[in-house]
Structure 1
Amino acid sequence: MNRTFTFIIFLIALATYAQNNVSEFAENTIEDVTRFGKAYANPAAKGVMYNLNNGWYNSAKVKDVLSFEISVVGNVTFIKRDESKFTLNTLNYNNVRFEDGSKSKEVPTIFGENEADIVALIDYNLNGENEPIAIELPNGIDDNVDYAPNVFLQASIGVFKATEVKVRFAPKIVYGRVEKQLYGFGLQHEFSKWFSKEEAFPVYMSALVGYTKFNGFYDVKESGEQDENQGIDTRINTWNFAVIGSTKFEKLNFYAGLAYLTAKADTKFDGVYQLEEEYEAFQDLVNNFSVENNNSGISGTLGANYKLPNIVFNLSYNIQEFSNVTFGVGYFL
């Protein structure tokens, strides 16, 4: 009786140890893949922040009440080559190591690509022995991608004295393995109208607040067929807080702006980390998890616009961590 009771206690203790061991392994693995995911996705989160927060204005002068403008805005953001890779240092991870014993390796971000497959090992401690699980690290879009284009519709209308409301929208667009969509709204107020001698003031001055929501999806497969069940799904919320100045000439005018930008990106990885078949039981640990990246930065804008009757053209260069060229053509009334 006592021996039976002792044996049952032993089995319970063994099961509890195994359960705790699996739980600790799961927590460490999630922490590791989350750390990797943040480093992998962060360049894209920053690049999108700098891309989306441009094109909000082509003048500091706001429209009169019920006057409006509808524009097609395009921009090109230049990708920094040093953002295509990052150093994966195994000392910063719980259970990750490389098979060749390297302590660190340069691995691709979402803007990079491996010349050869890079396989990391996740050590699972089973009854005091490490059981390695092989995991192939994901590639990025392409190591040769040097720029990211974007295009959207934007409308603005004067609503009351010295203030205009803006909205922007781009429908869902799929090209290659990338899918994206955006919408946003903004408010611009011309504070140079506060001055008692507004006509004598040499330039228009205004302040702008703009919000943009971006939804993006990157298919990690190379089949060319979109599969929403396997890929990187990103939701980014960006804000632009800008001060703008522009000249007062009749046709050709110049404008400049200084902005503070913020972005919060929530990125979900689904089916990105692929384990070997014998470790299929652990696949759920590295699937369906998400990471959050927060970024901020300063952007300076220098641009020019040229007006024809009811048509305006504008071109600007944005000085920021990911430099950007923005161009637009609009109809106004």
Structure 2
Amino acid sequence: MKKFSLVIFLAFSAYASAQSSANEVFAAGIEDANKFINGYLSPVSEGMLYGLGGGWYNTADAKPLGGFEISIIGNMTQSPNDKKSFILNTEDYENLKFVDGSVSKEVSSALGDLDGIDVFVDGPLPGDVDREEFELPSGLASENINFVPTAFLQVSVGLIKGTEIKARFLPKVETDDVELGLYGIGLQHDFTKLLPADKILPVAISGVIGYTHLTGSYDFTDQGVVSGENQRLDVKMNTWVFQAVVSTKLPIINFYGGVGYLSGKSTIDVLGTYSGGFLTQPVTDPFSVKTNASGVTGNIGAKLKLGFFRLHADYSLAKYNNLSVGVNFGFR
């Protein structure tokens, strides 16, 4: 189970380690660091929220009482090109300047791959340093990752009268620098089960509600220009999805689709103590990056059922498109 957790763990590590380079921006002061890190991290946070909202169903036909399905689900949320960068205008910053003299320039977000963009802050800085130069961080695309991956284990159990309960989780993983875990709960109700002709209807229609919660942390102490203690990111993400789903009811292969709404919130607390650069005195727990995601989603997919073993895949259209693939083991 711990190996399974490695999928999302590696993705989180990649984006968190890219952020560690952004630690250097603290040399320009808290206000400049706050503005830059918000622009840098918000797109990848939004993408993760859309990924966490995917994979809640692979049919509208709810399981009968005692029926169950265990699924290993992976989501690949596409990184839109317009989210891979943002415009940094130095007139909006107090101390941060481009080395080449530009006033405004496109720079990488945590999803992007723009590198070689050098900035500086003028002194006097501590230690009689008159000028500090550093390169702005690139993002996931520089590691050939052009999507935001998420993965989890999901269990679905049939209750009475067309109702099915779902639970998802990612076992907690920890290293010296990174800690990550996930859980969620969902409910599906098959409205066609209430009809007398349910057994002969060729399709099923359901409603699905799902909630997912992710927590993570990344320690990047002493990886930048400014010194300090316990420098880290503390990440909390929550998503709600509300879906209307329709599917066929055939013995082997079925097709399904849904339309609904996603609402999510991400909070990344930048914690620890920071000193140096334009920080005239140590600053503790300086700010948070808050990102909201919301919008209509729609998907279409197919499920192959071979006795106890099943496979499914679907593609969702939304602000961040998402491919969801699952391997399932079920009874009834």
TM-score for the superposition, normalised by structure 2: 0.75
Partner of 1:25: none
Q: Is the 8 A contact 1:213 1:235 kept in 2?
A: yes
State the Cα deviation string for residues 56-103 of structure 1 (Å, max 9, x = none). 111001111222211111222232343222111233345554455432
Q: Is the 8 A contact 1:135 1:273 kept in 2?
A: no
Q: How far does residue 213 in structure 1 lie from its aligned partner after superposition?
A: 0.7
Q: Distance in 2 between matches of 1:299 and 1:135?
A: 43
Q: Distance in 2 between matches of 1:272 and 1:100?
A: 31
SS at 1:293's partner residue? strand
Q: For 1:143-182, list aligned pairs within 5 A.
A: 143=142, 144-173=144-173, 180-182=180-182
Partner of 2:184: 184
Q: 1:47 to 1:231 in 2, by over 3 A?
A: same
Q: 1:237 to 1:253 in 2, by over 3 A?
A: same
Q: Return structure 1 stretches of 4+ with deviation > 6 angstroms.
A: 174-178, 271-274
User: 1:265 and 2:266 equivalent?
Assistant: yes
State the Cα deviation string for residues 153-209 of structure 1 (Å, max 9, x = none). 110112221111100011234699865321101011112234454345441000111
Q: Is the 8 A contact 2:182 2:215 kept in 1?
A: yes
User: 1:86 and 2:86 equivalent?
Assistant: yes
Structure 1: 5+ residue runs without aligned partners?
A: 1-27, 125-130
Partner of 1:116: 116
Identity of aligned residues (%): 38
Q: 1:230 to 1:81 in 2, by over 3 A?
A: farther
Aligned positions, number: 293
Q: 1:272 to 1:329 in 2, by over 3 A?
A: farther
Q: Which amino acid aligns with 1:116?
A: G
Q: Is the 8 A contact 1:231 1:272 kept in 2?
A: no
Q: Which amino acid aligns with 2:321?
A: S
SS at 1:44's partner residue? helix
Q: For 1:1-333, list aligned pairs within 5 A.
A: 30-93=30-93, 96-98=96-98, 100-113=100-113, 115-116=115-116, 118-121=118-121, 136=134, 137-143=136-142, 144-173=144-173, 180-199=180-199, 201-218=201-218, 229-270=230-271, 275-276=276-277, 279=278, 281-282=280-281, 284=283, 288-333=286-331
Q: Which has the larger radius of gyration?
A: 1
Q: Is the 8 A contact 1:187 1:209 kept in 2?
A: yes
Q: 1:222 to 1:195 in 2, by over 3 A?
A: farther
Q: Distance in 1 between matches of 2:68 and 2:79?
A: 34
Q: Is the 8 A contact 1:138 1:272 kept in 2?
A: no
Q: 1:253 to 1:230 in 2, by over 3 A?
A: same
Q: Distance in 2 between matches of 1:110 and 1:176?
A: 22
Q: Distance in 2 between matches of 1:58 and 1:176?
A: 37
State the Cα deviation string for residues 216-248 of structure 1 (Å, max 9, x = none). 34565898xxxx933433211111111110001
Partner of 1:127: none
State the Cα deviation string for residues 298-322 of structure 1 (Å, max 9, x = none). 2221111111222222121222233
Q: How far does residue 283 in structure 1 lie from its aligned partner after superposition?
A: 5.1
Partner of 2:11: none
Q: How far does residue 45 in structure 1 lie from its aligned partner after superposition?
A: 1.4
Q: Is the 8 A contact 2:275 2:281 kept in 1?
A: no
State the Cα deviation string for residues 240-260 of structure 1 (Å, max 9, x = none). 111110001111111111121
State the superposition RMSD in angstroms: 3.4
Q: Which amino acid aligns with 1:284?
A: V
Q: Distance in 2 between matches of 1:69 and 1:232?
A: 35
Q: In proportion to residue count, which structure has more strand?
A: 2
Q: How far does residue 288 in structure 1 lie from its aligned partner after superposition?
A: 3.9
Q: Is the 8 A contact 1:138 1:273 kept in 2?
A: no
Q: Is the 8 A contact 1:81 1:146 kept in 2?
A: no
140-149 vs 234-243, greater mean Cα deviation: 140-149
Q: Which amino acid aligns with 1:162?
A: G
